[in-house]
């Protein structure tokens, strides 16, 4: 490992420089949910915490198709930047805004239908009663979130990720203040309204910043009358497989939440605490993956195979080092981490402490698999990775989780061991595909500019 780090030191440094603002921005988004859960758990108790957890899981599951789908645009922007094609970047920006609006409305209708039929999930009456309105409020908040993610693709693809970082961190502070005020006034739904208002602020702030900053001015000038439809179709064709990759993983965890709800309210609350911690480190790993995807995309734009390989390897090494440190933290400080969420419920605390230990073991697999998706996205390889993640999460993780938890009686710990197995299979398959495919890829043929016939 040390020799590899020395060999790729410069590439790792460049990936780290690009990824730090992205990581902070990604972390800020997930920390809104963590802030919600910290305050809900401390102020309202375990049952509202469980209701908020399952509501967050469902709405984020549906929204993940949009979030993951829009993520391809930063790689497309970086490819266009490598070719110095300003007009293409402008068309990509206008197209992704339209895609974000469309996905926000379509996915929102799906979430409304889920809330309407929430009883099908078989949760307890209290969880069901509390979760329904929470889902509806979060559904509305997904629209400004998708707009923020869409505009962020321009910033990230042009290696200006600090824009989203500062906006996200300020939104995190706003969310914490709104949580404190609104939970005391409105109860559980106050946390959902805090998230809605914070996400509206994020979308407006990044739009105003991009419009006002002189750096982006040349990319916002409409210099062509070419229709946007071909680019919109391109974003959907390349992005939706990425969105479903994200969906399959989030779906596995969301369905795991539903299974854990069948086990009981203490298990559900404990799962929510542990998954919040794992989600935090995961979102930080997605920042490294995004930086790897952008650097791979820029190398593709320059038609430099060696640079593609170096950028991908640097991302793998960086995430391995980072998630290894997170693993050590989870294993050595699990009880202290759980105490940050809840202290007055020993049953929940003891279960959560055990789950955090398991989460520590799958940190490495989780980080490596998301970087694998990122670097493959940088070379426009999206269809086969979608099938690989489908197999890992739905063919391995979920069946094994159910078998261990129920027939074998391992309870909530069995669910988590099954998820660990799925993440490990995904990490191995995606890493293998990147290095197997790399010598065979014709870089000059990767997604040429869209033409209108």
The per-residue DSSP string of 278-301 comes to HHHHHHHHHHHHHHHHHHHHHHHH
Is residue 304 helix, strand or coil? coil
**Alpha helix segments (H runs only) across 44-71:** 46-70
pLDDT of residue 444: 57
- Tell me the CB-side half-sphere exposure of residue 405, using CA atoms within 13 A: 24
Residue 65's closest CA among 102, 14, 115, 11?
102
Neighbours of 10 (CB within 10 A): 10
> What's the mean per-residue pLDDT of the chain?
86
Largest CA distance in the chain: 67
Q: Which of 125-139, 188-202, 268-282 is least confident?
A: 268-282
DSSP 221: S
67-78 pLDDT per residue, tens: 888 988 887 888
pLDDT of residue 224: 66
Whole-number Å distance between alpha carbons of 211 and 90: 13
- Tell me the CB-side half-sphere exposure of residue 208, using CA atoms within 13 A: 7
Burial of residue 91, with CB atoms counted within 10 A of its CB: 0-12 exposed, 13-18 middle, 19 or more buried:
buried
Neighbours of 86 (CB within 10 A): 15
Residue 367's closest CA among 14, 26, 38, 60?
26
- What is the pLDDT averaged over residues 169-181? 91
220-266 pLDDT per residue, tens: 887 667 788 888 988 888 888 878 877 877 777 778 888 888 888 88
Q: What is the pTM of this model?
A: 0.73
301-318 pLDDT per residue, tens: 778 888 889 999 999 999
Whole-number Å distance between alpha carbons of 308 and 372: 13
181-229 pLDDT per residue, tens: 998 888 889 999 999 999 999 999 999 999 998 888 888 887 667 788 8
Whole-number Å distance between alpha carbons of 11 and 119: 51
């Amino acid at each position: 490992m040390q020799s590899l780090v020395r060999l790729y030191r410069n590439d790792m440094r460049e990936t780290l420089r690009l990824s730090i603002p992205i990581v902070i921005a990604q972390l800020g988004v997930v920390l809104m949910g963590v802030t919600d859960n910290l305050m809900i758990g401390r102020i309202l108790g375990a049952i509202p915490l469980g209701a908020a957890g399952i509501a967050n899981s469902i709405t984020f599951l549906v929204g993940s198709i949009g979030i993951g789908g829009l993520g391809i645009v930063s790689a497309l922007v970086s490819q266009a930047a490598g070719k110095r094609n300003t007009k293409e970047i402008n068309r990509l920006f206008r197209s992704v805004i339209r895609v974000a609006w469309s996905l926000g409305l379509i996915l929102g209708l799906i979430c409304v239908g889920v809330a309407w039929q929430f009883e099908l999930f078989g949760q307890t009456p209290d969880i069901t009663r509390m979760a329904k309105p929470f889902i509806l409020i979060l559904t509305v908040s997904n629209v400004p979130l998708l707009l923020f993610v869409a505009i962020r693709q321009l910033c990230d693809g042009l290696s200006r990720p600090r824009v989203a970082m500062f906006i996200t961190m300020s939104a995190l502070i706003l969310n914490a203040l709104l949580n404190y005020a609104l939970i005391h006034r409105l109860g559980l739904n106050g946390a959902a309204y805090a998230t809605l208002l914070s996400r509206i602020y994020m979308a407006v702030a990044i739009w105003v910043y991009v419009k006002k900053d002189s750096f982006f001015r040349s990319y916002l000038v409409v210099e062509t009358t070419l229709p946007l439809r071909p680019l919109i179709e391109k974003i959907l064709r390349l992005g939706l497989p990425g969105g479903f990759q994200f969906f399959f993983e989030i779906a596995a965890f969301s369905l795991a939440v539903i299974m854990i709800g069948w086990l009981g309210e203490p298990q559900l609350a404990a799962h929510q605490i542990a998954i919040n911690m794992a989600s935090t480190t995961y979102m930080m790993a997605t920042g490294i993956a995004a930086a790897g995807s952008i650097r791979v995309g820029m190398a593709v734009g320059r038609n430099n195979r060696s640079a593609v390989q170096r950028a991908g390897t640097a991302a793998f090494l960086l995430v391995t080092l980072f998630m290894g440190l997170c693993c050590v933290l989870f294993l050595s400080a699990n009880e202290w981490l759980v105490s940050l969420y809840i202290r007055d419920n020993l049953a929940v605390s003891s279960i959560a402490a055990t789950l955090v230990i398991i989460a520590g073991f799958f940190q490495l697999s989780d980080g490596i698999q998301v970087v694998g998706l990122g670097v493959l996205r940088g070379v426009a390889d999206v269809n086969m990775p979608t099938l690989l993640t489908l197999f890992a999460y739905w063919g391995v993780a979920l069946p094994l989780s159910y078998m261990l938890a129920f027939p074998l009686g391992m309870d909530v710990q069995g669910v988590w061991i099954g998820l660990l197995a799925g993440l490990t299979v995904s990490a191995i398959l995606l890493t293998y595909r990147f290095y197997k495919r790399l010598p065979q890829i014709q870089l000059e043929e990767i997604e040429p500019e869209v033409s209108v016939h």
